A and B are shown apart, each in its own frame.
Chain A
Amino acid sequence: MLSYVLRRTLQAAAVLLAITAAAFGLFYAAPSDPALIACGPKCDTAQVEAVRHSMGLDQPLVAQYVDYLGGLVTGRTINDVDGTPIECGAPCLGYSYTLHQPVTEAIADHLPVTLSLAVGALAVIVVLGVGTGLVSALRRGSRTDRMLSAFTLIGASVQIYFLGYALQYLLVYSTDLFPLPGYVPLADDPGGWAAGLLLPWLVLGFVNAAVFARLSRAQLLEVMHEGYVRTARGKGLSARRAHLKYTARGAAPPLAQLLGLEAGALFGGAFITETVFGLGGVGKLAVDAVVGNDLPTVVGTVLLAALCVVVFVAVADLVVAWLDPRVRLA
């Protein structure tokens, strides 16, 4: 276990290094110039060069990258466009010349929204996805099965844009059936927090539940015929409880894996959902930064997303090993 954690930590560090390096490289190769964008459309060449210098973009890519990594650990001082120094404490993710804000601060501003969104959406995904999968598998081939399949598939084939806007239009703006989507900090008003995120949770959950529903149905069908499930029923467990305890357990490992992936993705930010419901989360921050060529923010959000993925994948592997004693941690 200890060695597992250690190994995973090392691997995570390697992944993060690779990712940040790739993001750095990609943006360097892109035709647009962050110095120009920071300086503004009216800058002449000399001014752009000055800005480039104060942003540190005139240094070799590797030097910039090393600076960046150093800042991550120890913090560093960064120059604003006009050369004024800005203190950036560890973990320093750089300073965004587009947002005019240290990236760490920008992410901290947006993170609570993303966390709240992800937690609720995951709950919906699990309940809806695994729930319908379970019912479908138990009633395989029945009308219920087909209806549930169709229901979750609608989720898979519909666009979040469409569903989000249509539901807001129908349930919020035209009829008042649902509370207005929005973000209120949990600490301020738990009721308002849940109310504001209810619709986004449902939509995000519904759209993503299909994979879980399908996979859990298939997995459950696979495991349902195992001898030990029959044994459980032979003990006197009802079919339902036997499936819940034994079939579900046997079917769980791949689902746990998928859940890990999904969680990693969600905690890294759900751009479209955030946009559709007007929630300022990390996903929106990231895509705005990509579109606006805001390199420090891009790298910062990429780093965060990567961290989430790495952590959740590792946790999922742990859970899988815990679920199936025959599997050894690798």
Chain B
Amino acid sequence: GAGKSGDDPAPKETAPLTAALGTAKDSTGPAPAIDGARKGGTIHIANPTGYAHLDPQKIYAGETYNTSLLWGRQLTQYQVVDGKPTLVGDLATDTGTSSDGGRTWTYRLKDGIAWEDGKPVTAQQVKYGIQRTFAPGFELGPTYWPEWLTGSPDRTAAVKKYGGPKDGDLDAIETPDDKTIVFHFPKPQADVPYMAAQSSSSPVREDKDTGTGYDIKPLATGPYRIVEHRQNQRLTLERNPHWKPETDSIRHQYADRFEFTFGKKALNTSQEILAGRGDGASSVTTRADLPPELFRETERDPAKRKLVVSGRQGAYVNDLYIKNSRVTDPEVRKAIAYLFPRQQARQVMGGPRAGEFATTLSSPAVVGWKKYDLFPAPPTGDIAKAKEHLAKAEKPVTKLTYAYESDPVQDRLAQVLVDAFGKAGITLVTKPLDPASFTHQVFRGPAPYDLWLSTNSVDWPTPSTLLPDGYHSKLDALSNGIRYNNPAVDKELERIEKIGDAGQKAAALIDLEQVVMKDAPVVPFLYPHVSQVRGENIGGAFIHPIYGSISAAWLYRADS
């Protein structure tokens, strides 16, 4: 079977795991079979919350990407074999060919790909899908297509040039025939194959585009189709008869049905699954993590331990953010990097299961990642070193403000920080904020907070979205929340932007990362891990290396 089960609750250091680009041969179906997989049966997925959006152009979150693989197909997608991801062509025959220094990208669609009603998938439908990302109401999804295709700095500027299907055809995408799709970008773009794997790159049939209705029940191209979707209640899928395995090198169609139920708390679901009560034995959770309450129990009982599926949460990194415009003195930021008590902080989060200690800005899952540690300190922090740096500060700092999303675990985490900062002579003022408006309160406007913990993630596992989208001084507060401002870095970023070759670009960004880190703009804390549970009768469960949750498209009923 693919993936690893949770016999490793406390992962040491995971090897760098990057998604290589696959060849055209890798892109031909069927997907590599899973040992021991069987056909038939129903798989239950019990999640605490339902899906707000299923419209492919509105989906913008790891788990929904992951689950939507069941019914949605994109130009490219990650093939995962033994936990290793490879980007391959999905609807397209390969990951795309670029010309004109990265300004033109061409994709050809495979033969035999069809919608759930049997009609073939065409290049125009892919184009229509991408055109929708310009339309009002699609602000929720990623903004790369509008920005790249119009050469605009942001989506607002892009939609002024083209406002979606209502403005007619978008000239930047050409569909010479039903099978070919050609993108023309004003500036060179290196990451198109990765963007082509995003849900936004799914085809949409204009005749079936019912607006709000499509958000609830999109038309399937994948191995399963949606039979019923009652929002926040349940979602039922069954086999799509028009999906052909030989066209798909990624997905499987083992189970007969998928039944999603929403609303039950993770603790309940996890216990049901671990105890095999009710539908527990044939259930998995994809949106909920194993609750800390059950950590010890799953460790004690080997039968339960094997039901825990763990892995790194995609390319996420958990950092202590420092607002550089408020904590302007790099010496103070360095002091914070030294005193940060990673060990104690992780202890209140449940220990090693929460993740590995991080020292780098980007995740080991990113292509070309290099390990470095610019402020080496024991995991419990180095107060002496911190005091040294504080002494070097131009103005002594005695008080800092730490904002966090108000909840019990975060409350305790705040106390850990209060303790550590206190030891270094800094009074930490703690500001619990309403979780619903946390982002808004911390990022927008002149928020009066110096520190907060946050998770950054890249949209795909190359370094090209991390620094350019977060550390350029011209970016707005929403992207560059810490107000990092280093003219040298700005300049370098502008240079790198123009590189069309993916490899070169990635290497340059990786090198730039350490330059940025010298300023200690943030303190890397964890490469977070996730643990989820699967029922006794569920096979093929692993944490998707890119999307960071159990991927439904690989599951099968081990008992059927």
Same complex origin of A and B: yes
A189: interface (CB < 8 Å): no
Question: Do A106 and B232 form a contact, CB below 8 Å, given A36-B440, A98-B52?
Answer: yes
A28: interface (CB < 8 Å): no
Cα–Cα distance between A283 and B440 once the two chains are bound (Å):
27
Return chain B residues, CB-CB under 8 Å to A100: 52-53, 212, 215-216, 231
Would you list 9 pairs from A and B whose C-beta atoms are within 8 A, ordered by A residue? Answer: A32-B440, A40-B140, A46-B156, A101-B231, A165-B267, A172-B275, A173-B272, A176-B277, A278-B264
Which of B139, B216, B274 contacts A42 (CB under 8 A)? B139
Which of B138, B230, B436 contacts A37 (CB under 8 A)? B436
Return chain A residues, CB-CB under 8 Å to B293: 165
Which of A82, A109, A182 contacts B278 (CB under 8 A)? A182
5 closest pairs, A vs B, by CB?
A82-B137, A32-B437, A278-B264, A280-B263, A278-B268
How many CB-defined contacts (below 8 Å) exist between A and B?
Answer: 116
Question: Do A109 and B265 form a contact, CB below 8 Å, given A42-B478, A44-B478, A173-B274?
Answer: no
CB distance A44 to B271 under 8 Å? Answer: no
Cα–Cα distance between A110 and B535 once the two chains are bound (Å):
27
If over half of A's interface residues share one DSSP class (helix, strand or loop), that class is named, otherwise mixed; here it is loop
Return chain A residues, CB-CB under 8 Å to B446: none
A275: interface (CB < 8 Å): yes
If over half of B's interface residues share one DSSP class (helix, strand or loop), that class is named, otherwise mixed; here it is loop
| Range of interface residues on B (Cβ < 8 Å) | 35 or more
Cα–Cα distance between A99 and B212 once the two chains are bound (Å):
13
Give the residues from 95 to 145 in chain A that come closer than 8 angstroms, CB to CB, to chain B. Answer: 98-101, 106, 109
Which of B60, B211, B275, B277 contacts A84 (CB under 8 A)? B211
Chain A: minimal CB distance from B324 (Å): 20
Return chain B residues, CB-CB under 8 Å to A98: 52
Cα–Cα distance between A296 and B263 once the two chains are bound (Å):
19
Contact with A along B207-239 (1 / 0, CB 8 A): 000011001100000000000001111000000
A168: interface (CB < 8 Å): yes
Give the residues from 180 to 199 in chain A that come closer than 8 angstroms, CB to CB, to chain B. Answer: 180-182
Return chain A residues, CB-CB under 8 Å to B137: 80-84
Chain A residues at the B interface, C-beta cutoff of 8 Å:
30-33, 36-37, 39-44, 46-47, 50-51, 80-84, 86, 98-101, 106, 109, 165, 168-169, 172-174, 176, 180-182, 275-278, 280, 284, 291-293
Which of B156, B271, B434 contacts A31 (CB under 8 A)? B434
Return chain B residues, CB-CB under 8 Å to A51: 139
Question: Do A31 and B441 form a contact, CB below 8 Å, given A80-B212, A180-B278, A291-B435?
Answer: yes
Return chain B residues, CB-CB under 8 Å to A82: 135-138, 211
B154: interface (CB < 8 Å): yes
Return chain A residues, CB-CB under 8 Å to B216: 100
Cα–Cα distance between A106 and B50 once the two chains are bound (Å):
12
Chain A: minimal CB distance from B208 (Å): 16
Question: Do A41 and B277 form a contact, CB below 8 Å, given A50-B136, A100-B231, A277-B268?
Answer: no
Cα–Cα distance between A109 and B277 once the two chains are bound (Å):
25
CB distance A44 to B436 under 8 Å? Answer: no
Cα–Cα distance between A276 and B454 once the two chains are bound (Å):
28
CB distance B269 to A33 under 8 Å? Answer: no
Question: Do A169 and B436 form a contact, CB below 8 Å, given A100-B53, A100-B216?
Answer: no
B494: interface (CB < 8 Å): no
CB distance A109 to B478 under 8 Å? Answer: no
Give the residues from 154 to 172 in chain B that come closer than 8 angstroms, CB to CB, to chain A. Answer: 154-156
